[in-house]
Structure formats: C-alpha cells, structure tokens
Structure 1
Amino acid sequence: MDIRELFIKHAQGTCTAEEKALLVAWLQENEDAAALPDPEELMAVITLPVLETAAAERMLENILETPVLPIRRNYRPLIIRWVAAAAVVLGLVATTLWWYRPHAQWVSVRTPYAQMRTITLPDGSAIHLNANSELKYDSNMQRSNAREVWLQGEAFFEIAPAAAQFTVHAGQGLEVAVLGTRFNITHNDSSIQVVLNSGRVSVKAANNSPMLLLPGEMAVYHGGAQSLQKQAADTLVLTGWKDHVLTFHQTSLQEIAGLIQRHFGVQVVFTAPELSRLQFTGTAPAGNLELLLSILERSLDIRVNKTNGQVVIRPAH
C-alpha cells in the first residue's frame, strides 16, 4: 500500500495500528510533499462527526488557541500542505455549524403603564408581565437548549419543566435558575425581589453564594450594597397582581405610592410627611388607578386629588 492510500485511510479512521506506525515512520524520514494526497481528496473521503454546537465551538476555540510549536525546516513543505488541508476542513466545519445553528431572533415585549400581558414562550412557559415592564427572549428557544430571558420591571413566571435549566436575568447583577416552578420577580432601581410560590429556584448575585429558595420564601438583592438576603414572603400580597388583584396587608402609603408610580407612571405627593406612614389593608383591582385611589380615600382619613398627571394626598380635615 502506498503512502497516499495510508493518508486517506487515516483520514477515514480505518488505519490499523501497524499502518499508523508506518505512516509515522514515513513522516519522520521523508519530506516529499508530492507524495501526500491533495486536500480535495481528503475532503471527499472524510465524514465530519456530528457534534453539539457548544462542543464543536469549544473544540474550534482550543484548536485556534493552541500555540504553534517550532518545526524542523525540512518538514516545512509537508506542514504547509497539511495546514492548507486543515484550513479547508475547519472552514467547512465552521460554515456548517453557522448554517445549521438556530440563529437568535430576539423578541422584546414591553407593557405600557396600567396594562399587563401574558407571554407564552416556545418551551411552553407562561410569563405574566406587569405594567411598565419589559421582557427579552430568543424566539428560537427550545426545550433541549439553554432557556434564558431578561427582565426589567416585574413578572410572574410559570416555567414548563424541561431538561434544560431556565434562567432569568434581572437587572445587572441577579440570576434566577430554575427547572420548573412558579415565582415572581420585581426589579426596580435599587433592589430586586424574588418570591417563590412553588418548586425551587437558585438565586445568584454578584459576590454572593447561590441561595436556594423554597415555597413561601423570598430573596431580596440590594444592588448598592450587593447583598442578598432571604426572608419569609406573603405570596398572596406579593404575587396577587397576576390575577388582576392588588392585595395589601399593613402596607404603608409610601409603598403604595411607589407602586402607583411604577405601574401607572403617576407621581404621588404627600402634603404632610406623616401621611406616607399610614397603613392600608385591603384589596383593589389591578390596572384601575381611579378605583384604587377611591378605596384608599374611603379607608383612610385622607383626601386624594389627581391633577396634571400627579396624585396629591392630604389630610381629610
């Protein structure tokens, strides 16, 4: 068998141990580049392995990052010829991976003030997006691939179980990892809150160890201090908005004012500081600011006026 046939058999992966030894011995003793098969011949007989995209990309990165060792001068024609063949193979692999890889098609969903929306993802997960919030995801998301979404604002998640982990990126510093569960995330300028209704989630933040949450627990991340804390959660109060009901339990008017500003885009002004500390317990329909203000006015000893896109709260007397 001539050396050209040995090279082709080696490219096909059918060389015996003895034939591989002959091939190595020939390379050590010869520098006749004309004896080597053309790259086109190799490409005609090589069957490229089918790899997962991530594995193929890692392999390609390792090849490209491998330092080039000094070579003996008399092998330069052989090396140049085989580098050309390798370039053809790698070019074909890269082109094939790019062509068959599902290209990301980013979808961004944003809700205006006072409106909510439910989004069903390609994997079957349902996300209830609260008012003045934004969700970004890849429309090519599949059950067998990495499932990731990016959230600004507030959303309630009902994640479909799948082999791949589901990850929510909230703000700049928090990741919530889950396989299948129901949970709520609220992200504002200073903090991020994760409330777990069912299942399990792992919450990871910068400079903090991952925190496992169980149903009825919540994690609060303060971006300024980069601190992550766990505490008990009233899921009815914190996640009832997804059922179009706002539930309050000894909630200060200051907190309610923040909710009004986030969800309705209306600034709340108190004519006396002590008014902000008043507490309210009760329910109100979500998405109806006028009715919420009317309920607050009747339940507390206050007067509420809404003018020029601003809510002014003053004492009743």
Structure 2
Amino acid sequence: MADASFRSWVKNNDATAAAFWESWIERNPEKLHMVEEARGLLEMMDFNPGGPTEEEMKEVKGNIDRILLQIKTEYIAPERPVRRIKKAYYWAAAASILILLTAGWFHYIYNAPVKVSTGYAQTKQVTLPDNSKLILNANSTITYSKNWSNSSAREVWLDGEAFFEVAKAPHSAAPKFSVHAGTINVDVLGTSFNVYHRKGNIAVVLEEGKVALENNTNHQREIMQPGQMMTWDTHTFNRQPVNTALYTSWKDKRLVFENKPLSEIARMLEDNYGYRVAFKKKELETLRFTGACSTEDINILLANIKEVFELEIIRKDTTIIFQ
C-alpha cells in the first residue's frame, strides 16, 4: 500500500502508526475485517517466481491505495473534524475495497508458487501442471506456478539437479517450456534432458529431442542435439558428446561411473548425501574409477573404491576421509 501510516504499521511495526490504527479499530470495530484483509494482502505481496506479475498486481494495489487514502482522509484524519458522508457512498467504498481485495487474493492463490524440495539421499517424482514429469535428485529444489495458462511460458526454477520429460503443451498452456538454472535458461519443445545446477556449476545433458540454451546476461544462445552435454563456464558454452546414461542413471536409482576422478565422486557424495569428503593426499583426487552401485547403498561404492585402489577409507559421522 502507498499509505505510509498503514505500511509502517504492517511492515515496520511502527509504534506511532500501530497506536493510530489500533485506536481507530477500537472506535470502528465493524471495519476490522476490512483492515485485516488489507493487512493480509499487503503481507502477501512479495513477488515470487510463478506468482502474480508486478503489472497484474500494480493496478489492484493502486486502487486499494486510492480508496484507503480517501477513507482515511474523510473518516479518520485526527487533525480535522470527522465529516459525515452518505451511507450509500460509505458502503460503495467498502464494497470496492472488498471486491479488490478478494480479486487480488484469489489471483494470488490461483497463481501461488509451488516449491518442492528433497533431502540428502532422497529423490522425488513430480508431475507439473501440464503433465510433464520430472525426477528431482537429492538436495534439490524446484519452484513453479501452481497453474499454467496459454498466456505465459511454462516455467520451472531449479537449484540442484532434475531429469525432465516434457509433454507437448495442452491447449490450456503455452507451447514454450523453460527451465531456469542460475544464469542459464533451457528452452524446450518436448524432450528428455537432465539439468545440473549447483554452486554456480551448470550442465545440461540432452537424452532426446531438442533444447535451446540461452545465457540471460549476454544472450548467447546454443541449440543442443541428443547425446550432447553443454556446460557453462561463466563466459561461454562448452559442448561435448557424452554417454547420457552416465549422467541420468541416478533417476533409476543407479550410480554409474566411467573413468571418473575421485574428486568428482567426492563432490557427488557431498551434494547428494551431505558428506564432507577429504583426501589425505592431493594425488588421490585424480585417481579414476569405473563402476556402478545403487543410490541407496553408498557403502558398496566406498567398498569398491577401497578395493580397486587399495585405499583406507575412514567414515566418522558425516565425514569421509580417503587415505
């Protein structure tokens, strides 16, 4: 709300503003529900990905501000006498506020963002509003709008890792499907792909179909083909052919490694399982391992690494030490 006194009371817990509004409510108890709804709407007006857009809510907020200011000026200004107005005008103003608040509230609820997260060593299957499917890897989060329409892109925000199977857009949803991973946007038209976004590192592996990657800072854009991996190194995209199964096997609860350095396996243990991994000797990080195990039994992976390289592996609470 633009009204400084009302905003100071709700947002900043200002003592003077609080005293003013609480005193006014005591004198006008029948208007408490109007104030509470206005207060609730103001507290909900944080714009989140997938929620109502700033343009959509600006008009609603402006109308509420105008009516609140008018009522405050004509009814409750302490420095001037209270003027009587016609009951019809009062009820028209009150009805306008309630209509605007209700419209804004339902618009927010309808488009409220949905947030789905996984813990360490946990994966989760998610069905999106257009019936696209995704599998969320461990220690990851996605955010998307509760309802999708044909007036805006189907959008998902990812922090972590997820495998997507994008459905063709139904008539009620836009054809464009986008995954936002840090500074990179992945634009899709029906395909299967894996997106990795952790600690500033971004990698996309395309299993089938076609995707376009775009950096939203310099707008560099690249088209991917199946069997490729694209990474971003803060300046440009890097493309390479890959065996996609090595990067997507986790969705089937399998970890598959092919000539993978122990440093990368350590990073996976930290990202997906919450371990802190240390190497007693720097050269151990460069040892390359080939093997597979279940995502649900890391003990087998560690036992295999220990046997292959004849290492000692010490586990204490959430710490793993290779030596």
User: When the two structures are superposed, what TM-score results if normalisation uses the length of structure 1?
Assistant: 0.65
Partner-residue secondary structure (3-state), 2:218 = coil
Query: How many pairs are equivalent?
Result: 228
In structure 2, the residue matched to 1:259 is 268
**Structure 1 position 294 matched with structure 2 position 294:** no
Deviations 1:144-200 (A, max 9, x none): 7521010000000011111521100112x1100001000000011132001100000
Pick aligned residue for 1:156 from 152, 163, 169: 163
* Gap change, CA 1:107 and 1:160, over 3 Å in 2: same
How big is the alpha-carbon RMSD for the aligned residues of Structure 1 and Structure 2?
2.9
Equivalent position amino acid for 2:306 in 1? E
- Are 1:161 and 1:180, in contact at CA under 8 Å, matched by a contact in 2? yes
Partner-residue secondary structure (3-state), 2:312 = strand
In structure 1, the residue matched to 2:242 is 233
Pick aligned residue for 2:226 from 211, 215, 229: 215
Partner-residue secondary structure (3-state), 2:147 = coil
For residues 248 and 200 of structure 2, the distance between their equivalents in structure 1, rounded to whole angstroms, comes to 20
Pick aligned residue for 1:183 from 181, 193, 199: 193
**Structure 1 position 139 matched with structure 2 position 146:** yes
For residues 103 and 210 of structure 2, the distance between their equivalents in structure 1, rounded to whole angstroms, comes to 35
> Offset at 1:207?
1.4
In structure 1, the residue matched to 2:179 is 168
For residues 126 and 144 of structure 1, the distance between their equivalents in structure 2, rounded to whole angstroms, comes to 21
Equivalent position amino acid for 2:238 in 1? Q
In structure 2, the residue matched to 1:50 is none
For residues 304 and 99 of structure 1, the distance between their equivalents in structure 2, rounded to whole angstroms, comes to 56
In structure 1, the residue matched to 2:129 is 122
In structure 2, the residue matched to 1:194 is 204
**Which structure has the larger Rg?**
1
Runs of 4+ in 1 over 3 A off after TM superposition: 94-103, 142-145
* Gap change, CA 1:304 and 1:99, over 3 Å in 2: closer
User: When the two structures are superposed, what TM-score results if normalisation uses the length of structure 2?
Assistant: 0.64
For residues 312 and 115 of structure 2, the distance between their equivalents in structure 1, rounded to whole angstroms, comes to 40
> Offset at 1:209?
2.1
Partner-residue secondary structure (3-state), 1:312 = strand
Q: Structure 1, unaligned stretches of length 5 or more?
A: 1-52, 61-90
For residues 100 and 137 of structure 1, the distance between their equivalents in structure 2, rounded to whole angstroms, comes to 18
In structure 1, the residue matched to 2:20 is none
For residues 167 and 103 of structure 2, the distance between their equivalents in structure 1, rounded to whole angstroms, comes to 28
Equivalent position amino acid for 1:261 in 2? E
For residues 132 and 149 of structure 2, the distance between their equivalents in structure 1, rounded to whole angstroms, comes to 11
In structure 2, the residue matched to 1:5 is none
* Gap change, CA 1:143 and 1:123, over 3 Å in 2: farther
- Are 1:144 and 1:164, in contact at CA under 8 Å, matched by a contact in 2? no
Partner-residue secondary structure (3-state), 1:237 = helix
For residues 302 and 208 of structure 1, the distance between their equivalents in structure 2, rounded to whole angstroms, comes to 47
